[in-house]
Each structure stands twice: as C-alpha cells, then as structure tokens.
A and B are shown apart, each in its own frame.
Chain A
C-alpha cells in the first residue's frame, strides 16, 4: 500500500510543530530572562513593561513567561512519544497552551489595556502550533 506518500506530510507536520515550539521556547525564554533580570523587554508596542509589571505577569508566584517555557518544552518533548497517543498528547498540550494564550490576550486587551508584542507573537505561534498538532492527530500516518 502507499505508505510513504502519506507518511511524508505527517513528518512535515512533526517538523513544523518542533520548529514552532522551539520558536515559542525562544520567546518565552527571553521573557523569563527579562522577568528575573528585572529589565525592560525590547518593545515596539510600548506596552510590554506594563504587561510584565502587571499583577497577571505571575500565576501563583510563577512568572507566566516561565509557564510558557515549560509549556513549549512539554510540547517539543511530546513529539518524542510515538503513535496516536503521542500525537494526542501533543495536540492536548498545544490546546492547553492556546487556551491559556487566549486568556492572557484577553487580559492584555480588556483588563491591562496594554499590548506586548512578545506575548502576541507567542499567542500566534501557539495558534499555528495547535493547528499543526490537531491536523497531525486527525491525519496521521497509515502506520
């Protein structure tokens, strides 16, 4: 049967999820560094400082950026798990990430009323990641 043509797109999706999670890791890692070094992030939107300094920058004492690092790392690691269960884990983790990103974006727009482009970039990465991970789950290889 035609195994190889249907495997290729799924492998491309795995690669895409990996690349997106590394990009997310870089963004969240930078924001975590900025948080602990107590410096202002490089910011073109003007709102980063207010977002980073707001009450919502920490969750139960943990900086949100660090939670982001953990999330992206977990997604990247879940790619190592094989089969349908592994793909479900990746999709689940990215859905959690997307939901949390959407909540944080809501806070930025409606509560803190400041936009931090780093957070927007992270939310967009998480959106793309989720799309890729869900597609990967629904259209898996014929293994």
Chain B
C-alpha cells in the first residue's frame, strides 16, 4: 500500500518535474532568442556608428590659391616666415597629421599673418614634429624640402588643408607631389630634396628643440623677443583673440 502510494507520488513528481523542465527549457529558448535579437540590434547600431565615424571627413576647403594669397609677398627663409628683424618671434610646433594643428592653421594663423607678420612685427618659425606616424615624416619632409623654393609655410598650410584621418596612409609621396604641383613648385626637386641631409637636419632640429622645451603635444608655441629667450606660450590654439593678446604683450615687452 504504502509503497504503491509512494510510487504514485514519485510518478506525479516526475511528471511535474518534466513539465517544469519543459517550461524552463522553453523560457531558456525565449531568453536566448531575446539575446540573439539584442546582439543583432547591437551589431546594426554599432555598424552604423562605425560608418558615421569613418565618413566624418573634416577636410578644409582652402585651395592652393587661398594659401598663396595668404603668404604672398611675405619673406621666407627656410622655416622662418616674416621680416628677419621683426621684434617678436613665435615658434610653432606642429605635426602635419595633428587635427588641432590643422585647426590652428585654418582658424587662427590667417589673422596672425595678416595682422602681425605682414606688418613686420612678428616672425614665425615652423618646427615640424613627426610623432604621430610615418605619414607625418613624409609630409614634413616635403614641407621642409619646399624650403629650397622658400615655400615651407605654403606647403604646410596646404597639407593641413588636405589633412585626412591620422595614419590612414594618405600622406604618401603622391600627396607630397600633388601639393608641390598645385603650389607651382618643382615637384621633382621637392621629392628629391625631401630625402636630403639638410631636410633631415631640420627635422632633427625640431625634435631636439621640442625635447629641450618639453613639448609633449601639438600645436605648441614659444614666444619672445627675436634673438632673445623664448618662453612657452600657453594659450587656446583655437582662439584668435588670445593669440592677439599674447603677441601684443610680447610686443610691448620687447619695446
């Protein structure tokens, strides 16, 4: 008797357990399909974000003739721009691939050149650093090679205007040749000079000066009396007004 009741109880228990198992399995399947849907949805959203990120092209619309017009008639000697006896010198450290450097060149440099360099009050030096990647060295080499034709600044300016995503491989030999050609430079000469010891010396010099001044990011600036001691200029590189104020200060300090 008691054993029969026990076995009936067991059978009922087993049946309930089987039902519970089936229910649990169904729920598990349902949750797995929810996870599958979540994964699919997430993949689509992330894919869209990646596409937006890759398509984000911040190239400037400045042309070679805009760049030529900005520097037209201003003396250049190697990496230096402006009258050699201008009372104040502003040194710019820039990596050709650095987006903030391109931003400075686009937003602030034109007014500095027009208001101070053209007026003979300021001379600038362009110290090109190449820490971002190999493309930086190719472009910087091209810019310094353009110094043989006194167009370092035009070259760098146009290279910034055509800047693409960092280390995407855009800054190759063809990029250098196209800029040289669009600036009416002798492109063959630029290409051959970019591998010259003179250009290498300029790049080494920029790197050593940056190390000595503990420049750890670009763009960075030094300012001071021409031929005198230059000190780091800590300003917002996107703000015209703070640059103008800093140059005015340096001018009044230089007498």
Contacts and interface: CB of A to CB of B under 8 A. Distances in A.
A45 interface: no
A32 B133 CA distance: 27
Interface string A100-143: 10010000000111000000000000000000001001101000
B35 A134 contact: yes
B1 interface: no
Given A49-B217, A111-B165, A99 B42 contact: yes
A112 B166 contact: yes
Given A91-B38, A92-B41, A111-B165, A59 B49 contact: yes
8 contacts: A54-B99, A55-B166, A92-B37, A99-B42, A137-B34, A137-B35, A138-B35, A140-B31
Interface of A: 38, 40, 46, 49-50, 53-56, 58-60, 84, 88, 91-92, 95-96, 98-100, 103, 111-113, 134, 137-138, 140
B217 A38 contact: no
Contact of A40 (B28, B133, B217): B217
B114 to A, nearest CB: 25
A100 B50 CA distance: 8
B50 A103 contact: yes
Q: Interface residue tally of chain B, by bracket? A: 20 to 34
Contacts of A53: 98-100, 217
Contact of A103 (B49, B100, B132): B49
A127 to B, nearest CB: 14
Nearest to A94: B42
Interface of B: 28, 30-32, 34-35, 37-39, 41-43, 45-46, 49-50, 52-53, 56, 58, 98-100, 132-133, 165-168, 216-217, 236, 238
Contacts, number: 80
Contact of B53 (A59, A95, A96): A59
B167 A111 contact: yes
Given A49-B217, A59-B49, A96-B42, 7 more contacts: A46-B216, A54-B166, A91-B38, A92-B42, A95-B41, A103-B46, A113-B132
A13 B98 CA distance: 43
Contacts of B168: 111
A112 B248 CA distance: 36
Contacts of B34: 84, 88, 91, 137
A54 B39 CA distance: 29
A54 B53 CA distance: 12
Contact of A50 (B49, B132, B165): B132
Given A54-B166, A138-B31, A95 B42 contact: yes
B99 A38 contact: no
A56 B168 CA distance: 12
Contacts of B56: 55, 58-60
Contact of B43 (A84, A99, A140): A99
A8 B45 CA distance: 33
Nearest to A67: B49
A54 B166 CA distance: 7
Nearest to A114: B132
